[in-house]
Structure 1
Amino acid sequence: MHDSYSLILKTLLESIPELYQSCKADRKRLHDWEWEQEDAPSILGEVEARATTISGYATSLQKPDYNGSRDLQAMVSGLQQASIHRSETLRNWMQTESEHYPDFALYLETLEALLWLAVKRVRQEVTLTNETDQGT
């Protein structure tokens, strides 16, 4: 199971740049829409920050020694905080506007899938570490 999580994580991580490029037109339209609104929150800015966090954690999980000196529980917490569902702005946007930006919405959904797969992978590592520490 450990290897299948790693392989899927790697595949999703590698797909992120291509998905980002494929939603260029949606991002341009969203940028233009945000610019026209007086008090519109920056969907693009929030997503960019979350994408950086999620991709950073997922990239570190690809390294053989990622858990060496890291606090795995802190990694899970950091990933969970990066979820698009933690942002009221993004939740509202997904419910009301995402259908107008299907490629960008797919990018967000893929980031979210990457995030939760990374959480599963870290939790699996925590379980294995605990079992090893207990001598089972």
Structure 2
Amino acid sequence: MSVSNERTVVLGLMSYIDEKGAYRTAPAGAVVKVHPDQLERFDRLNVLMPKPEFAQEAAVVEVESSAEELAGDAGEGQGEGDGGDGSNPDAEKPSDSWTIAQLSTYADAHSIDLGEATKKADILAVIQAATGKDA
């Protein structure tokens, strides 16, 4: 076979038919010999496509809305996340069933300084002392 059948893989992983007709795969950067009947197909498929501009904008908007939600929308209204599982810290009082992350979120939302508390029981005790609520 001639050198004109050689191609460099630019995709992460490329499937192709080699010069002998066998199916092969090759990682990006590999130089492969492609069957002459498959050169057009290989060249058509072995191209990195740029991310569409609208998809890049959508990703930025999605990240911004997530940041807004984390910044303070958690305590507004009743709805998703108010099912008593502690996912909305204002939906019920803190208890042993809450995770450390949920207790910390509750403390932040209520301006409770946890000080040196890092264990779940200690964090819960600080919150209960600050709010006067029992588990």
Q: What band does the TM-score fall into relative to the shorter chain?
A: under 0.3
- For normalisation by structure 1, the TM-score amounts to 0.22
- Higher strand proportion: 2
- For normalisation by structure 2, the TM-score amounts to 0.23
Q: Which has the higher contact order (CA 8 A, sep 6+)?
A: 1
